[in-house]
Structure formats: C-alpha cells, structure tokens
C-alpha cells in the first residue's frame, strides 16, 4: 500500500492530499479548507469527509492518517488549545472512524512532521536519536529513535530561565518582542537547545516551522555539540507524516496496538 491520504488539521486550515509513500511526496496537489469557526469534532469531521471525497479516486477505501494539534494518548485527546474544547477527553480515533467510515490513525502534528523528516526529509534514514522542533506560535517537538517515534513529547514546555521555554523562544515571541534574528538566536534559542542537548544528548536536531526558511539568518549562530539543521518538507510534513503513521498502523498492527 503506497498511496495513503494524509490530513493535517490546524487552527486555521485543514489540508489533505494523497501521499505516494514510495516517493515521499504528494500524488496530486493538496486541498485546503478553512477550519470551521466553531471547530467542534462534528464540524471538523465534516471537512475531513469533504477532503476524503475529493481524493476517493486515488485512495479507494484505504486508511487515512490525521494530525491534530494536541497530544494523542491511545487515540484519546487529553487536552487541546487551538480547536473547540469538545475535543478534550474525546476518544477521537473511534469517533472519527465512526463518522468517516474507514480506518483512522490519529497523530500529534509535531510527531507527524518528525516522522516525515526522518523518512523523507532532513533526517532521512538517520540511525540515532533525532529531535525535531517546530518554531511557530509555540514550540512543537518530536523525538524519534532509530526511526521509531516516541510520541507526545511536549519539550516546548521545559523550564528555561525560570519560565516555560516556548514563552521565551518561539518565533512568535521573536516577532511580538521585535527581536532581531541575532538576539533571538543568542539569547533565546541558544539556551533552549543547550538545555535540550544536556537533558537528552541527541544525535541530531532538525528545526522546522515557517521560520526555518530564514535558517541562514539564525542557524549558524547556534553553538552546540549536536548537529543542527533546517527541516526540508516544511508545510508538507504534517500530511506526509500522517500518511506514514497510517501505513505503520496497517503494517504493524500488533506493535501499535494500544489499550483503551
């Protein structure tokens, strides 16, 4: 099974495309629909159904991988910030399977991006411990060891200089406080990545988020023992990673079986 639909759910848009997992890219152009203003599970599922219908000719009755901007613990969403609070506590994988009529694999959005970068992006085939960070409104993180995802890492919330790290080092904070790339890198990102390095001793950092386009303006200013590089897949990573997660669920059902 090499063509699987990935859907990436965000606070402002829901995007989907069939992914050719042999090539590691979209089979055709993605479809994007604005996230409903009232982003309840019912309303978001209706948008997902529209995206599935759009690509039914490419995916048939196959499984679908879906990202969500929240932790996913055994298919349940414990809390959520950027969608309606009716998602909190929901056994979302079962709910969506019932609404959409097909096998669903649900994955945290940063975890999906990490999977995509390891399989097809900046960390392709890496044999060690990779930590992906997405620098945006907050800081999303993914931990992957020898190609295996360790899910739901919220390393954007580690303590740094007495405060939550993402409230100091996210790219939104750089913009909000009017920091130059130099000041942001040296006073905010450097202590953040140094702390991650001390705690986890990774082999590689991959830095994603829209700001990674400006890597040359800040990346070279970071002084670490760990190699640190920009992500490659950018806004395609969530969709591609969701499809990878769905494929893994089909191919390794016993390994991925989780208690309810």
pLDDT > 90? residue 252: no
173-180: average pLDDT? 97
Q: Tell which residue, 43, 75, 55, 80, has the closest CA to residue 5.
A: 55
Residues 250, 192 within the same domain? no
Residues 243, 159 within the same domain? no
With a pLDDT cut of 70, the percent of the chain lying above it is 97
pLDDT band at 210 (very low <50, low <70, confident <90, very high): confident
- Asked whether 169 and 218 are in contact (CB, 8 A), the reply is no
pLDDT > 60? residue 82: yes
Q: Is residue 56 part of a domain?
A: yes
149-166: average pLDDT? 95
Residues 39, 64 within the same domain? yes
C-alpha span between 197 and 180 (Å, rounded): 24
pLDDT in tens, 12-40: 899 999 999 999 999 999 999 999 999 99
pLDDT in tens, 89-133: 999 999 999 999 999 999 999 999 999 999 999 999 999 999 999
Residues 134, 227 within the same domain? yes
State the pLDDT at residue 74.
93
- pTM flag (> 0.85): yes
With a pLDDT cut of 90, the percent of the chain lying above it is 90
Count CB atoms within 10 A of the CB of residue 168.
Answer: 20
Element (H, E) at 115: helix 109-120
Residues 102, 14 within the same domain? yes
pLDDT > 80? residue 253: no
CATH number of the domain that 132 lies in? 3.30.420.40
pLDDT band at 257 (very low <50, low <70, confident <90, very high): very low
Q: Tell which residue, 167, 184, 164, 67, has the closest CA to residue 116.
A: 67
The average confidence (pLDDT) of the chain is: 94
Instruction: Please name every residue paired with 138 in a beta bridge, in sequence order, or none if there are none.
Output: none
In the chain, how many domains are there?
Answer: 2
Q: Is residue 244 part of a domain?
A: yes
pLDDT > 50? residue 41: yes
Q: Is residue 118 part of a domain?
A: no
Residues 83, 145 within the same domain? no
185-207: average pLDDT? 98
C-alpha span between 48 and 5 (Å, rounded): 11
pLDDT > 50? residue 258: no
pLDDT > 50? residue 256: no
State the pLDDT at residue 91.
97
163-177: average pLDDT? 96
pLDDT > 80? residue 255: no
pLDDT > 80? residue 254: no
Give the domain range for residue 246.
3-111+236-256
């Amino acid at each position: 099974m090499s063509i699987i639909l990935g859907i990436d759910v965000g606070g402002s848009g829901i995007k989907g495309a069939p992914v050719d997992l042999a090539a590691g890219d979209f089979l055709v152009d993605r479809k994007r629909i604005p996230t409903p203003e009232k982003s309840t599970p019912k309303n978001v599922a209706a948008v997902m159904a529209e995206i599935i219908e759009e690509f039914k000719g490419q995916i048939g009755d196959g499984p679908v991988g879906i990202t969500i901007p929240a932790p996913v613990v055994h298919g349940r969403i414990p809390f959520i910030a950027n969608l309606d609070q009716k998602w909190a506590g929901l056994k979302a994988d079962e709910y969506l399977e019932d609404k959409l009529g097909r096998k669903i694999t649900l994955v945290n959005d940063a975890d999906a991006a990490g999977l995509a970068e390891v399989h097809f992006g900046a960390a392709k085939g890496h044999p060690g411990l990779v930590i992906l960070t997405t620098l945006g409104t907050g800081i999303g993180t993914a931990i992957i060891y020898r190609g295996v995802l360790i899910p739901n890492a919220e390393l954007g919330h580690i303590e740094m200089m007495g405060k939550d790290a993402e409230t100091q080092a996210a790219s939104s904070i750089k913009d909000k406080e009017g920091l130059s790339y130099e000041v942001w890198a040296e006073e905010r990102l450097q202590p953040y990545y140094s702390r991650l390095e001390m705690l986890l001793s990774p082999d590689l950092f991959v830095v994603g988020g829209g700001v990674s386009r400006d890597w040359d303006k800040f990346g070279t200013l970071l002084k670490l023992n760990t190699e640190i590089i920009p992500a490659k897949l950018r806004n395609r990573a969530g969709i591609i990673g969701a499809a990878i997660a769905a494929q893994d669920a089909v191919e390794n059902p016993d390994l991925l079986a989780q208690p309810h």
